[in-house]
Amino acid sequence: MFDFLSGKLVEKLRGEALRRGVSIEEFTVEVLSKALNIPLDPSEKVELHLKLAEKFLREAEGFLVKGDYVQASEKGWVAASQMVKAVAAREGLELGSHASLWGYVDGLVEKLGDGGLRRMWWAANNLHQNFYENWMTLRDVKYAIEDVKGFIGKLRKLL
């Protein structure tokens, strides 16, 4: 996505995004929105997070096909977290930390009475951990990505 930028600039963007707990794409949109003085309304934020969820899910599936289960794991996690952010944005909320994501999902599970949603969220979080520790088997990564697809499908119905 940022092939045209210098390595230093991309690393700075990536580092700042990581520090804020957001994707580099989210951070870039935030910077552009502020620099151009064009605030995003909640519906635009929903659309942004939904598109990012779909993008990262496609990337996760692509990495699975390539046999890169570590990258597939991270993309699967990001897809799930972006979908949570999309649903929260519909309510005018911005989630910026793992704790806020977990708390929001916990509230959704209680509100919807859907314990399966919690299990799928745990699978997504295992993918995130796997990105750093590479402990999941190939089969487990595939099953977890399937759970992420189900998770996204359930949350999409809330939009």
pLDDT tens digits, one per residue of 106-141: 999 999 999 999 999 999 999 999 999 999 999 999
Mean pLDDT of all residues in the chain? Answer: 93
Q: Cβ(13)–Cβ(28) under 8 Å?
A: yes
* Percentage of the residues of the chain whose pLDDT score is greater than 70: 97
Residues 6+ positions from 122 with CB-CB distance below 8 Å: none
Counted domains in the chain: 2
Does pTM top 0.75 for this prediction?
Answer: yes
The sign of the dihedral angle between the CA atoms of 97, 117, 23, 139 is positive
Q: Assess whether 15 and 34 both reside in one domain.
A: yes
pLDDT tens digits, one per residue of 25-59: 888 888 888 899 999 999 999 999 999 999 999 99
CATH number, domain of 78, equals: 1.20.120.330
Residues 6+ positions from 95 with CB-CB distance below 8 Å: 84, 85, 88, 101, 104
Q: Assess whether 84 and 45 both reside in one domain.
A: yes
Q: Assess whether 17 and 35 both reside in one domain.
A: yes
Structural domain harbouring 15: 1-39
Q: Cβ(152)–Cβ(83) under 8 Å?
A: yes
